[in-house]
Structure 1
Amino acid sequence: MALTFATDPVSVRTPATSANLGPGFDALGLALTLYDDLTARVTPGGFTVSVIGEGAGELPSDEEHLVVRAMLATFDELGERPRGLAVECVNRIPQARGLGSSSAAIVGGVQLARGLVAGGTELIDDEAALRVAARLEGHPDNVAPCLLGGFTIAWTEGTGARAVRLPAHEDVHPKVFIPTERGYTASARAALPFEVPHADASFNAGRSALLTHALTADPSLLLPATADRLHQGYRAEAMPGTASLVASLRSVGVAAVVSGAGPTVLALSEVPADFHPGSEWRVESLGVDARGALVKGSMVELA
């Protein structure tokens, strides 16, 4: 059966995310109150993308743009592509800084496609949308909180990615330290060893479980709960400034971690007023986004 496409534009707001959160490598993620705003409409033909803000003048302006690629993958799941798309992006999430800019683009594309099709959110429910997004991203730790909001635990099984969303405690107040230089997930992963000591794996399993409790019920435990032995130490040589800032913050009792693959640093507990990271860091106090990627348009209203 042929799909019915919206004649009016559809918009989506996608939150930044921070993955890993210390010990929860490739599993834990948190949605943050920093957003990209995307709008798309169906056109008679061709694919165009305009970008304002982060990535303007750098990102593709055609079907190679990640938002369009995610939209087309979702339309393929639905069984039919429109002849053309016009996409507008107002980007505020820094590119390649460990704050989930690619996941925001992918989830935004999936949600736009769902919103542009009559019954799209029924044909592809949230669980299926997560699987599509995770296939495109390669792992679910960032796309899960971007799609669902809040604090998420994600995993992959035979049918693909799955996730559960938990509300973060009201006393969790994220702060991000964003450097000028960029980092890239592929190079950060290349620094990881193929094997780790059993004791380190056991350590991280315990701290990941503790972190779930700390983030949802007892933030006083965030400092020990965010300790990691699986990935941050191996990446430190490639990001010495990031590693130094994490160590400095933790030395004064702040639950600080590398955000995703870095180089941004995420603090999950209060930072002393007299702590000064240096002029090379842009500091932003954020909240935890509780709603995830919201779609608004003529065919759907997701609240």
Structure 2
Amino acid sequence: MTTVPVGRSVAVKVPATTANLGPGFDTLGLALSLYDELVFTTRAQPGATIEVHGVGAGEVPTDSSSLVIRAAAHTFAHYGVEMPGLDVVAHNGIPHGRGLGSSGAAIVAGIMAAKGLLEGIVEIDAEGLLARATELEGHPDNVAPALFGGLTIAWMTPEGPRHKKLIVHRGVSPFVAVPRESVMSTALARSLQPESVPHEDAIFNVSRSALLIAALIQSPELLLAATEDKLHQSYRASAMPETDALIQVLRAHGLAAVVSGAGPSILVLGSDPAQRLVAADLIEKSSTTAWDCLLLAVDFKGATVVPHSTEAVA
């Protein structure tokens, strides 16, 4: 069986993502300028050891049970190459359980590491990357923007997941408010939704999703109307009451505020940078608990993997 040489090392960088964006449930996603950065180095000893810095240090698995390592192993197995032993150093910036795509980022990190380590042995194209990530994540709305950056539309076909990347209008200014204490399980969030919705609600969301694409790539002044939703946020509101209350305050002040992914973080899609400062001020005045306010940009590159020199300066 083909093997990867001992001592091969790659550096991986993966952006945070925000999915749904209001009406685009399980379809739309946006990459953000907040990152997990990891270095993977092959070793002779089997298994894996992860040194975690930043988010998740002392909390997440640091052996082969890690989602990052499982994603790498899944990719090696799919392409029929023996999984090498790995030493990993992770510097994590993406909050966990807050609706910013941390699990998708971990999956993408492992897959991109496998891609880099398999350079010259197996070539993995964009379609293969998205397919492997979706197999593990279950749906492509977070992993597509994490892989490819920008605004992505993702959908499923009988042949597998597909995506279209779009470039966001330069006036769109993302703002994310992250609660310091509360977390949200994606599985719990999904369990709160009904199996079916009224016909008029479905039509409502189709119209807003179409409008949202236009607002994000061409007409940011339409973002408030374009981020209205009747498919998922109201059903999940009971599980994150302060998130819901703050979104209502923000929207009442003309800001395009939505739940980020499964929550409980809040995403504001500003039509100009100044709106982010207004949002931060409103949250400080209106919240009863601590929130971290992040003034972010759209990440246009997506995940990257490059050779890493083990002799590089730390």
What TM-score range do you get, normalising by the shorter chain?
over 0.9
- Whole-Å separation in 1 of the counterparts to 2:7 and 2:78: 21
1:275 partnered with 2:282: yes
Q: Structure 1: how far apart are the matches of 2:75 and 2:170?
A: 35
> Could you say which residue in structure 2 is the equivalent of 1:101?
102
In structure 2, distance between residues paired with 1:26 and 1:5: 39
The 1:296–1:83 alpha-carbon spacing in structure 2 relative to 1, beyond 3 Å, is closer
2:24 matches 1:24: yes
Corresponding position of 1:90: 91
Q: Which amino acid aligns with 1:33?
A: S
1:124 corresponds to 2:124 = yes
More divergent stretch after superposition (42-51 vs 221-230): 42-51
Deviation, 1:81, is 2.1
Alignment-derived partner of residue 163 in structure 1: 163
- Give the counterpart letter for 1:172 in structure 2: V
Unpaired stretches in structure 2, ≥5 consecutive residues = 310-314
| C-alpha separation in 2, matches of 1:16 and 1:24 | 18
Equivalent-residue separation in structure 2 for 1:40 and 1:295 (angstroms): 10
2:309 is equivalent to residue 293 of structure 1: no
Aligned-pair CA distance for 1:165? 0.4
- Tell me, in whole angstroms, the C-alpha distance in 1 between the residues paired with 2:6 and 2:304: 17
Deviations 1:242-268 (A, max 9, x none): 001111100000000000000000000
Q: Secondary structure at the match of 1:139?
A: coil
Distance 1:157 1:240 in 2: 36
Q: State whether residues 6 and 116 of structure 1, in contact with CA within 8 Å, keep that contact through their aligned partners in structure 2.
A: no
Alignment partner, residue 56 of structure 1: 57
Check the 8 A contact 1:5/1:118 in 2, yes or no.
no
CA contact (8 A) 1:226 1:255 kept: yes
Distance 2:283 2:80 in 1: 53
- Greater displacement, 31-40 / 44-53: 44-53
Describe the superposition over 1:94-151 as per-residue Cα deviations: whole angstroms up to 9, x where unpaired: 000000011111001100001001336x622011100100110111000000000000
The separation in 1 between residues aligned to 2:305 and 2:47, in whole angstroms, is: 23
Between the aligned partners of 1:243 and 1:145, the Cα distance in structure 2 is 25
* TM-score with structure 1 setting the length: 0.95
Following the alignment from structure 1 to structure 2, what is the Cα–Cα distance between the partners of residues 22 and 51? 33
Amino acid at match of 2:63: D
Select between 84-93 and 250-259 the one with higher mean Cα deviation: 84-93
2:291 partner letter:
W
SS in structure 2 of the partner of residue 13 of structure 1: strand
2:229 paired residue number: 228
In structure 2, the residue corresponding to 1:268 is in which secondary structure?
strand
Q: Percent identity of the aligned residues?
A: 51
- 1:123 is paired with a residue whose SS is coil
* 8 A Cα contact 1:4 1:118, kept in partner: no
2-structure distance, mates of 1:6, 1:215: 45
SS in 1 for 2:53: strand
Q: Is the contact made by 2:3 and 2:84 (CA closer than 8 Å) also made in structure 1?
A: no
For residues 1-303 of structure 1, what are the structure 2 equivalents within 5 Å? 2-5=2-5, 7-44=7-44, 45-119=46-120, 123-180=123-180, 181-269=182-270, 270-271=275-276, 272=278, 274-277=281-284, 278=287, 280-297=290-307
The aligned amino acid for 2:153 is I
**Shift, 1:86, TM fit:** 1.2
Q: 2:9 corresponds to which letter in structure 1?
A: P
The alignment of Structure 1 onto Structure 2 pairs a total of residues equal to 298
